């Protein structure tokens, strides 16, 4: 009997010994690079718009595999290859790092400092909930939406509306808002509309060719989904280059509302809805797959110009002044 128990324990020991070393899993660099290249080749949606020769990218980065010895080397080659797309929606997710690309905002003014907003305008008494910061600045309501990752609850917006009841207008600040749920952006945008309004188009890839797209489908903002009714209020939306992804869609939608003025810098774009796929090594790649357009069928992936360009200068940062907020307050007071 003891002999069998010993045999079982020995077998269990052998099973335990077969556990793979997570630091250096066995992988084929070529297989994984090819899988990544093919996934992007077949499913990425902005090749023609960005004028990228993806075949030559493969040639260049395949050569770099010669020096790949560890997963970190492979990650470097793959993330460099993805960086050629200059797309904030393209990321490589691994257990030890996530690649990202900053080329789409590096050369633009920052146009935002929440520290200045707090110190110079909100003070210490502002209210906040789930990434939403709001208070009144004199006779104007100010609401900073830092993310659309979480939907704003209807009841929250009703309280915000009540808090701003005596304000002449509302500033909605979406600077440095990197996006999140498109449905959350839609629900907030719907607050500024009275009627069902056509705001854009969406299409998707129907094949592996770079230009295999479906016919465009219209996108509407439906006021039936709105959290509150701000269609009669004077609203100014503040943007900068880091207003990205679903925030870019939000800005596109509100640009069709009559009572909304957009002030600040050009948005960051990210008009392609990202999807994700697994690679053989188990890493995940996220990439733009579903392009969206404005109602004139123009791409919004490169960003959306505001109605008025206003930038924050170095002097403004030193003086702790935000001219974008000041201009928004001016617009609201003039409208009043």
Partner 1 sequence: MKRSIFLFIMCLMAINVASQCLNRWQIGVGELRSTDKVLSDQQYRGVSVALRALHIGNYKKSNSQIFWSFLDDIKYSSMRNSSKTARMHYVSVKLDFGTHYVFELGRGFKLSTGGLIDAFGAMKYVPRNVNNVVSADVQVGLRAVITTHYLYKINERFSIGCHYGLTSPVIGCFFSPEFGESYYEIWQNMSNSLSRDIHFSSFHNRQGVSGELDFDMIFKSGVLTLGFRHENEWWQASGNSFSISDIKGIIGFALRLSSINPY
- Site for partner 1, rule CB under 8 A: 35, 39, 43, 45, 93, 95, 182-183, 202, 204-208, 214, 217-219, 273-284, 286, 289-290
Strand order in the sheet with 132-137: 127-129, 132-137, 140-145, 169-173, 234-239, 260-264, 308-309
Q: How far is the CB of 262 from partner 1 (least distance, A)?
A: 24
Query: Measured from the CB atom, is 30 or 218 closer to partner 1?
Result: 218
Q: How far is the CB of 196 from partner 1 (least distance, A)?
A: 13
Q: Is the dihedral of CA 29, 33, 38, 43 positive or negative?
A: positive
Q: Is the dihedral of CA 263, 224, 181, 52 positive or negative?
A: negative
Write the CB contacts of 220 (distance below 8 Å, at least 6 apart in sequence): 196, 197, 198, 199
Q: How far is the CB of 282 from partner 1 (least distance, A)?
A: 3
Query: Measured from the CB atom, is 35 or 116 closer to partner 1?
Result: 35
Query: Measured from the CB atom, is 93 or 108 closer to partner 1?
Result: 93
Query: Measured from the CB atom, is 95 or 123 closer to partner 1?
Result: 95
Q: How far is the CB of 193 from partner 1 (least distance, A)?
A: 16
Query: Measured from the CB atom, is 230 or 287 closer to partner 1?
Result: 287
Query: Measured from the CB atom, is 21 or 232 closer to partner 1?
Result: 21
Q: How far is the CB of 295 from partner 1 (least distance, A)?
A: 14
Q: How far is the CB of 171 from partner 1 (least distance, A)?
A: 29
């Amino acid at each position: 009997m003891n002999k069998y128990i010993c045999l079982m324990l020995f077998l269990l020991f052998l099973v335990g010994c077969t556990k793979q070393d997570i630091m250096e899993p066995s992988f084929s660099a070529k297989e994984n690079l090819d899988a990544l290249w093919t996934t992007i080749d077949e499913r990425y949606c902005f090749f023609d718009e960005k004028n990228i020769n993806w075949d030559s990218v493969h040639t260049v980065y395949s050569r770099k595999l010669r020096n790949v010895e560890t997963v970190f080397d492979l990650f470097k080659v793959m993330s460099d290859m993805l960086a050629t797309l200059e797309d904030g929606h393209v990321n490589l997710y691994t257990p030890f790092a996530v690649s990202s690309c900053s080329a789409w905002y590096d050369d633009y003014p920052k146009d935002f400092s929440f520290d200045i907003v707090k110190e110079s305008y909100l003070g210490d008494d502002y209210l906040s909930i789930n990434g939403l910061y709001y208070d009144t600045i004199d006779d104007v309501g100010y609401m900073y939406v830092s993310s659309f990752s979480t939907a704003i609850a209807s009841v929250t917006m009703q309280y915000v509306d009540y808090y701003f009841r005596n304000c002449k207008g509302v500033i909605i600040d979406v600077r440095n808002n990197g996006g999140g749920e498109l449905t959350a952006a839609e629900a907030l945008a719907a607050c500024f509309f009275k009627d069902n309004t056509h705001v854009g188009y969406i299409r998707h890839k129907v094949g592996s060719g770079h230009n295999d797209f479906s016919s465009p489908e219209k996108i509407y903002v439906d006021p039936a989904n709105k959290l509150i009714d701000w269609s009669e209020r004077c609203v100014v939306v503040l943007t900068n280059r880091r207003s990205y992804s679903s925030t870019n869609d939000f800005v596109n939608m509100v640009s069709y509302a009559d009572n909304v003025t957009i002030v600040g810098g050009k948005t960051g774009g990210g008009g392609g809805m990202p999807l994700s796929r697994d690679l053989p090594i188990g890493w995940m790649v996220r990439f733009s797959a579903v392009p969206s357009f404005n109602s004139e069928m123009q791409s919004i992936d490169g960003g959306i110009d505001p109605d008025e360009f206003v930038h924050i200068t170095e002097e403004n940062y030193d003086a702790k002044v935000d001219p974008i907020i000041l201009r928004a307050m001016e617009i609201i007071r003039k409208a009043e």
